[in-house]
Structure 1
Amino acid sequence: MVYSIPRTPLTLMISVYRKVFPAVNAELDFWQKRADEIPDDELRHQALASINTKRFHCLGGAVYALLAGYRWREAIRFIVAYQTISDYLDNLCDRSTSHDPNDFRLLHEAMSDALSRRNPLQHYYALRTEQRDGEYLADLVRTCQKTLRQLDSLDMILNHLQGLEKLYQDLQVHKHVKFEERVPRLVGWYEANTEDSPLYWYEYSAAAGSTLGIFCLVSYALGGKITTTLADNITESYFPFMQGLHILLDYYIDQEEDRREGDLNFCHFYSSRGMMRERFIYFIEQADSHVQQLPDRHFHEMVHHGLVGLYLGDPKVKKLENGRKVTDELLRISGYKSRFFHWNTKLYHRMTKTRD
């Protein structure tokens, strides 16, 4: 059977609703049951909360499984497991009883181990009070490793996977330490890793916080299409602009929530709302330009247009000052594909709210 990669918004949404969403929800139902069995109350609470409140991260990321051809189910299993690790650890660090960077670093070694064939599992909770998770985190890591053991071409993408994961891990450590240490650490990290960067330090930090490049690399490898040149091009295309657009939009819709919780939000560092709008437009234009070098460029274009439509279609946007104005302008700049995905996102939220 030949699996074609969607080239239009309509064919993409048909694949998403018929294949991707049902498979993702089945995987998440499994991990939700596992999370419900975690012995430690706090770990169980954070694991369940990460699935319940961040389910859309897996639903959105799993669109890359369509690049894996007939192995799309394997790609979804990997993407859901890896994203669930990310969301779970983010919850543990955001709502942590600890501000120890060594604790955060050790926790996120799980994401590094998940990107290997056989890295031995570690005691990821060794530096924190809560430790008994009933092998929940270990099983998520094992699930990812099982997928990567089936990849003959892992060596072609391994350095890129590790590089993107290292950026993500560094970000998570620096942004979760004591509040007064966060910005100095992030600025120092940015300055040590960049030279003549077109990005501000908080935009670089945002770009490091996305898992999209990893999902793209693994899905192409599962589909048997990866080459050394393609792996280079994917990484260059996705970091920093596609990934930066992804996370800046995520932070944009979470501004009020993060303000209430005292969490670091990179959108708060723009000097004005006008500047933030202009930088969003810049990221949209750069993401569009950079994916032109990739095969299936129509698919990658749809993903970044979809990000704009998806995030700006979230009900939280209505509560933001000038949220409607910013939405209208960014949708106009991004084009009809973004408007199509925006409409679908709003419809999806209405449907799920009705079922609830």
Structure 2
Amino acid sequence: MSGQVPNNAVKMMVNVYRFIFPSVHQELDYWIKKAQAIPNQELKNQALASIRDKTFHCEGGAIYALLANTNWREAIRFIVAYQTISDYLDNLCDRSTSMDPKDFRMLHQSMTDALTPGNELKDYYHYRTDKEDGGYLHALVRTCQQVLAGSPDYRYALMHTNKLGGLYNDLQVHKHVIEEERIPRLKGWFESHQPDWPHLEWYEFSACTGSTLGIFCLVSYTLGGKMNDELAGQVEKSYFPFMQGLHILLDYYIDQQEDKEEGDLNFCFYYEHQEQMINRFKYFVEQTNVEVSKLPDPKFHQMIHKGLVGLYLADRKVGKLSNAKRFVKDLLKVSGKKAKFFYINTKMYHMIKPGRPL
């Protein structure tokens, strides 16, 4: 694969299918073997389920490796490990009997440590009964640290990755506590940030903090040898809140039926009606267009933006949602032809993609 950042959808998808996705699956195969060796059955189940059910998170995130020049494999190594931590911990918090915010905070300390090469590994399971993971979580954290430690330019991005990572961790703590405390905690958290983001609702701000895309962009540019103070600041501004918010709102949109059945928190439930939700999604699409155009390689970031819309709207889960046809039609229309290209492309990929036996 050439080190050039692709500037059109066809080149991007050729690189994605020929190089990025196979490398992602190779990395995931390694982590599946590690997960299969976890001694504790509950931790083993959740680790394997998080990879089986959320492979597309790693696939989508790994597209940022195209920004890493010849270090794209190292970028994928980081992205897959970091995203696997995220998905694993999400399963542990969503599906476990624990409702202790101290437990959630301690688990997610692993994500802070993963972004900070000098940090020592800790007992991330300190507040829970299930502990014996055979070194699985430590290995994921160490992999991230090793990749970042290999790039001296990461010092420019560190403050920004930790800021975005810190917001992500706060969200995971607040949204997983006992049900009656979730909304008050999330609203109280938003109040401290609302002066900076008066145009957002509390549930929209929460969604904006739940994405890992800004971190993947910062790390990939770093590994590509392009990082400096100015670029680090611009990536954060261009990705937070709108690009990240659009990402997670789409993620919640496709999970509505599943979250209703499981009793999980879903930020799309807080829109007053379908019309309001469509209009707000359109607003996020339009604002993302403006912000990512300020980055180097703007065509690439626009394709990621359009790709997000196409990727999520093409998900099989969408077919189970009421009023989905109109929602998909309206959002593809405002997102433009590239989004429709990625939508059709993703539909075709789902038809031919082999399953991942675990």
What range is the shorter-chain TM-score in?
over 0.9
Counterpart Cα distance in 2 of 1:332 and 1:55: 28
User: Which whole-Å CA distance do the structure 1 matches of 2:23 and 2:30 have between them?
Assistant: 11
Q: CA deviation at 1:194?
A: 2.3
Equivalent residue, structure 2, for 1:317: 318
Q: Which moved more, 1:345-354 or 1:114-123?
A: 345-354
Q: Which residue of 2 aligns with 1:186?
A: 186
Structure 2 SS opposite 1:295: coil
Deviation of 1:118 (Å): 2.4
Q: 5 Å matches for 1:149-188? A: 149-188=149-188
Instruction: Give runs of aligned pairs for residues 128-143 of structure 1, distance below 5 A.
Output: 128-143=128-143
Q: CA offsets per residue over residues 249-293 of structure 1, 9 Å max, x none?
A: 000000000000000000000000000000000000000100111
CA distance in 1, matches of 2:164, 2:198: 17
Q: Pick closer, same or farther for the CA change 1:91–1:305 going to 2, 3 Å.
A: same
Q: State the identity %.
A: 58
How do 1:215-234 and structure 2 match up within 5 A?
Answer: 215-234=216-235
Q: CA deviation at 1:352?
A: 2.2
**Contact preservation (8 Å) 2:28, 2:80:** yes
Q: Which residue of 2 aligns with 1:26?
A: 26
1:227 Cα offset (Å):
1.3
Is 2:52–2:356's contact at 8 Å kept on the other side of the alignment? no
CA contact (8 A) 2:332 2:339 kept: yes
Q: Deviations over 1:102-129 (max 9, x none)?
A: 0000000000000111211000001001
Name the residue aligned to 1:108.
Answer: 108
After TM superposition, give the deviation of residue 355 of structure 1 in Å.
Answer: 9.4
Equivalent residue, structure 1, for 2:351: 350
User: Is the counterpart of residue 285 in structure 1 residue 286 in structure 2?
Assistant: yes
- 2:186 is matched by which residue type in structure 1? L
- Residue 143 to residue 353, structure 1, CA distance change in 2 (3 Å): closer
Instruction: Return the offset for 1:63.
Output: 0.2
Aligned residues of 2:93 and 2:104 also touching (Cα < 8 A): yes
Aligned to 2:55: 55
SS of the residue aligned with 1:293?
A: coil
Superposition map of 1:80-119 within 5 A: 80-119=80-119
Post-superposition offset of 1:97: 1.1
SS at match of 2:146: helix
| Distance in 2 between residues matched to 1:209 and 1:134, nearest whole Å | 28
Matched residue type, 1:149: A
Secondary structure in 1 matching 2:24 = helix
Instruction: Spell out the pairing of 1:54-73 with structure 2 (5 A cutoff).
Output: 54-73=54-73
Tell me the matched-pair count.
356
Gaps of 5+ in 1: none
Q: Which amino acid aligns with 2:127?
A: L
Counterpart amino acid of 2:133?
D
* Maintained 8 Å contact 2:62/2:80: yes
- Partner SS, residue 176 of structure 2: coil
User: SS state of the match for residue 49, structure 1?
Assistant: helix
Shift of the 208–355 alpha-carbon distance from structure 1 to 2, 3 Å rule, reads closer
Unaligned runs of 5+ in 2: none
Distance 2:3 2:178 in 1: 49
Which amino acid letter does the alignment assign opposite residue 252 of structure 1? Y
2-side partners of 1:279 and 1:104: how far apart?
30
Which digits, 9 at most, give the CA deviation of each residue in 1:179-236, with x for residues without a partner?
0100000000000122052110000000100000000000000000011011000000
- 1:73-98 deviation line (CA, Å, top 9, x unaligned): 00000000000000000000000110
1:117 counterpart letter in structure 2: P
By how many angstroms is 1:10 displaced? 0.5
Tell me the amino acid that sits aligned with residue 329 of structure 1. Answer: D
Provide the residue aligned with 2:300 in structure 1: 299
Spell out, residue by residue over 1:1-58, the C-alpha distance to the aligned partner (whole angstroms, 9 max, x if none): 9511111111110010001000000000000010000000000000000000000000
Q: Which residue of 1 aligns with 2:249?
A: 248
Determine if contact 2:154/2:227 at 8 Å carries over to the other structure: no
Partner SS for 1:121: coil
Equivalent position of 1:124 in the other structure: 124
SS in 1 for 2:322: coil
Question: For 2:129 and 2:346, how far apart are their aligned partners in 1?
Answer: 40
- Following TM superposition, the consecutive aligned residue runs of length 4 or more in structure 1 with deviations greater than 3 angstroms are 353-356
TM-score scaled by structure 2?
0.98
**1:101–1:351 CA distance, 2 compared to 1 (3 A):** same
Partners of 2:81 and 2:144 within 8 A in 1: yes
Residues 354 and 55 of structure 1, relative CA distance in 2, 3 Å threshold: closer
1:268 and 2:266 are equivalent in the alignment: no
